[in-house]
Chain A
Amino acid sequence: MAAATSFDQLSAAQIAAGVASGDFTAVEVARAALDAVESRDGEVQAFLQVTPELALEAAAATDARRAAGEKLGPLAGVPAAFKDNMNLVGTRTTCASRMLANYESPYTATCVQRLIDAGATPVGKTNMDEFAFGSSTESSAFHPTYNPWDTERVPGGSSGGSAAAVAAGEVTISLGSDTGGSIRQPASLCGVVGMKPTYGAVSRYGVVAFGSSLDQVGPFGRSVADVALAMNALVAGGRDPWDSTSQDCPVDFLEHLEDPVEGRSVGVVPELMEAAGLAQEERDAVLLAARSLEEQGARIVEVELPNIASAIAAYYVIAPCEAFSNLARFDGVRYGYQEPGCPTLAEQTSKSRAHGFGEEAKRRQMLGAYLLSSGVYEKYYYPAQQVRTLITADYARAYEKCDVILMPASPRTAFRLGEMSDPTEMYASDMFTISNNIAGNGGVSVPMGLGAASGLPVSAQLQGPAFRDRSLLTFARAIERAVGGACVAPAFAGRGGELA
């Protein structure tokens, strides 16, 4: 290479191609990424752990495979980060909770392993809202993460560290999990691409559970093509026998990425575009996305999702109930914080949970415990699952009229740390993403440049029918072609990370 380039200017495909052709080695890229983390993460704090040994070991193995003449994977040498609810042997998996502060991963999550199998270099584990309860990453028990576009603001959440690490150019791709918007909302606030695939498309084996009927793992990247490459790695190998909800998803996400959208139809829900709380600049971003698709020959059609206004209510019944059930396992016995000196098991359990969990984790579990109690279940939980049927049916009817639905991803751009102090106010951050988890469909947040009012990243969201995630990326790519893609946040671009 002629002049020194920061690895943050390269796409995942360019890094993999450069490593395969010998322009640079995977170890050189790993060192560049570690150097970028070193010089940038003090201000961003996207990481809970940086893993130089694992990174250099994986990169050296990639280089050794090349030296032996073996074919390299599609993510060869690509620096990747993983949300800290994903197990990776050799790291702690803390869920950003005191409860799991010392928890050593006993095995590696399938999603993480598949990225590594495709050649990715594991750079570290990223910060999150505790147990993924939140939309700002402020509920991490360890420290907040700062938005690379304005470090006085939050990166969104719960996968805020994974979004910020990509936006700051510390890694090329990362993984998050999305239960109500936890990939798409931080992607929106950090100006990167974030995809929540259809429920079941990606294995959740080895990912700490929050809401088991809602959780889905997906990638972040600075381009739609990088996200498509990561998706290919995540679905490679087919159904994971270790996750009974995992499905075969035999799709090449790159195959139709550049397809024209001419003649295809994009649904828009008028009432969502007029939703209370939606900032004008976010509305404008969605309108710009619609125009760009229309100019490429797509048809914009109005569709209705009549029950979507109840999605937040349904979610805040279903998700806390599932969380309460899942987090019951944290009893201070087999793993997790254990309160010392308790004479009885009951006291040890209650005190371990009281002192291991943070405020929001306690709130969600308390709400779930109440909603599942006798006499209350019938009033909320069962009806919420019936409303879920109505919302899913709304989507099915809408997709008879369109290929994808275009809407906002986040009601507003990144807010200041501490600005949203009321927990139930924070819940509205997911007003445009939650219904998709309720229905189990895929969605992707596409960066749309900077908002006129705030100067911060704005976005548009595409949602699609179940297992039509490839189509989502085709539309996302069409928008990206028209409006330009994401970039590393200017304050961090090129700071450290030079490839020798």
Chain B
Amino acid sequence: MPLTREDVGSIADYARIALTDAELDEMTAYMNEAVALLEPIRQYDLEGVEPTFHPIGDLSNVMSQDVPDDEVRHLPVDVALSNAGTSRERSFRVPSILGEAGGDR
């Protein structure tokens, strides 16, 4: 069943991307076209096939020792804040969070 404009609107809310009405129309057409492209995935009988989440299956992630290290690179606070739109003292500054409680999905 194709995705409706309403479905795509819900996905946009979830993805936190405010789409205009015109964008919503285009996106709905795109989403249906893109999902159709994925159809081969659904044609497989995959009973008993293990998934691969990591491309080099027989290697594992390399973990660091969980110990403090003086050499650890860290971002100084001023550098970490330097790309923020708004900041105050040693913090990122954001608008009201509680204000969204009623309208949040």
Contacts and interface: CB of A to CB of B under 8 A. Distances in A.
B67 interface: no
B55 to A, nearest CB: 3
Given A334-B92, A366-B17, A424-B33, A213 B42 contact: no
Contacts of B30: 363, 366, 423-424
In this complex, the interface size class of chain B, counting residues with CB under 8 Å from chain A, is 35 or more
Interface in A345-360: 345-351, 353-354, 357
Interface of A: 102-104, 106-107, 198-200, 213-214, 239, 241-242, 244-247, 309-310, 312-314, 316-317, 324, 331-338, 342-351, 353-354, 357, 362-363, 365-367, 369-371, 373, 379-380, 382-390, 392, 423-424, 427, 437-440, 466
Contacts of B42: 379-380, 383
A241 B14 CA distance: 35
Contacts of A214: 55
Contact of B53 (A104, A107, A362, A385): A385
B51 A389 contact: yes
Most chain A CB atoms below 10 A, which of B3, B27, B57: B57
A326 to B, nearest CB: 13
Given A316-B34, A333-B84, A344-B99, A354 B52 contact: no
A353 B54 CA distance: 29
A348 B95 contact: yes
B21 interface: no
A73 B43 CA distance: 53
Nearest to A346: B100
Given A350-B16, A366-B11, A427-B37, A244 B61 contact: yes
B46 A353 contact: no
Contacts of B86: 338
A335 B73 contact: no
A309 B51 contact: no
A312 to B, nearest CB: 7
A423 B34 CA distance: 9
B61 A245 contact: yes
B94 to A, nearest CB: 5
Interface in B1-47: 3, 8, 11-19, 23, 27, 30-31, 33-35, 37-42, 44, 46
27 contacts: A106-B82, A107-B75, A199-B55, A247-B59, A310-B40, A316-B38, A324-B15, A332-B85, A333-B94, A336-B83, A338-B86, A342-B95, A344-B95, A345-B99, A346-B104, A347-B100, A354-B17, A365-B15, A366-B17, A366-B27, A367-B34, A373-B11, A387-B41, A423-B30, A424-B33, A424-B34, A437-B55
